[in-house]
């Protein structure tokens, strides 16, 4: 699949759009600088009409239908891992070619990732352009909405080499392969710097994730929600205590530094309070750091 998946994704995306199976939503991007790094605030007014539902609420709702089992054939891109996972287009996207890696059999969103999950991730990113963000929303306060286990893959903005939060974290020169925190980030985080060449194998990624998750749960408990952001340079976990701040929902992309808002008032709130301080509010402020009021 290596290096030919880009074309398959583009063709599937165009076909799904033409058939009405995929709904692309227009948005406007604003840049916001903190700590000399450009954060992305994406204004998506159509999100104002989309209800915010957590996985357990959605799963327990009358008439709930799992969109991944069975999946819509028009959104299917490839089978992964010999059948353990599927690669699907995200039906509701604000960035073209937004992909989902779903387990073929039902598994609960929030279960720890395993080597098979990372093998599926490598199968996908190995066939795409190198600048991709892989993320996983785990738990009720993580910004997750679907109860079926899935990771997401998104093309990184062309003007970014690494996500803003990762860029700030990397300034502290984290050691290779060890869990590291950076004083500059005001919220709890557990990152592992990855070897870029050669790319880590699935077992090495699973080990890095397990080390970061072990450090996270030792500090915040085994039931805590968290976000994972994976790029070619780092794997980072961010524990969560709230899914939103003043109506602004935050998932893994928010902790990467790519934040969505539904109204211009929300955009003004983000820029006024500062993205990093809001992330400290929905996450866990580090000792000595102040978070804005939650109400």
CA distance 150 to 144: 10
Is 150 an active-site residue? yes
Quote the CA–CA distance of 131 and 128 in Å, as a whole number.
8
In the numeric block, the tokens 């690669």 are attached to 87
First to last CA, the chain: 48
Give the containing element (helix H, strand E) for 154. Answer: strand 150-155
Indicate which residue of 85, 98, 148, 150 is catalytic.
150
Closest CA to 80 of 97, 102, 98: 102
Q: What angle do CA 213, 217, 219 make, to 5 degrees?
A: 120
d(CA 281, CA 187): 8
Active-site residues: which are they? 150
């Amino acid at each position: 699949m290596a290096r030919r998946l880009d074309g398959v994704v583009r063709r599937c995306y165009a076909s799904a759009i033409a058939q009405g199976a995929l709904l692309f939503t227009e948005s406007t991007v604003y840049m916001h600088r903190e700590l000399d790094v450009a954060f992305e605030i994406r204004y998506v007014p159509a999100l104002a009409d989309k209800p915010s539902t957590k996985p357990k609420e959605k799963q327990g709702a009358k008439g709930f239908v799992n969109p991944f089992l069975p999946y819509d054939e028009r959104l299917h891109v490839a089978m992964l891992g010999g059948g353990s996972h599927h690669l699907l287009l995200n039906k509701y996207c604000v960035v073209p070619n937004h992909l989902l890696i779903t387990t073929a059999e039902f598994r609960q969103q929030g279960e720890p990732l395993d080597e098979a999950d990372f093998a599926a991730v490598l199968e996908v990113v190995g066939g795409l352009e190198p600048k991709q963000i892989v993320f996983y929303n785990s738990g009720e306060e993580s910004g997750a909405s679907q109860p079926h286990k899935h990771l997401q893959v998104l093309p990184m903005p062309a003007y970014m080499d690494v996500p803003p939060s990762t860029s700030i974290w990397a300034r502290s020169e984290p050691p290779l392969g060890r869990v590291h925190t950076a004083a500059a980030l005001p919220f709890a985080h557990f990152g592992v710097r990855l070897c870029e060449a050669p790319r880590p194998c699935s077992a090495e990624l699973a080990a890095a994730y397990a080390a970061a998750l072990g450090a996270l749960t030792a500090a915040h408990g085994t039931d805590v929600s968290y976000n994972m952001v994976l790029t070619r340079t780092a794997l980072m976990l961010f524990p969560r205590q709230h899914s939103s701040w003043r109506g602004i929902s935050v998932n893994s992309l928010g902790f990467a530094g790519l934040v969505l808002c539904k109204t211009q008032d929300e955009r003004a709130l983000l820029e006024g309070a500062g993205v990093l301080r809001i992330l400290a509010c929905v996450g866990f402020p580090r000792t000595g750091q102040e978070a804005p009021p939650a109400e």
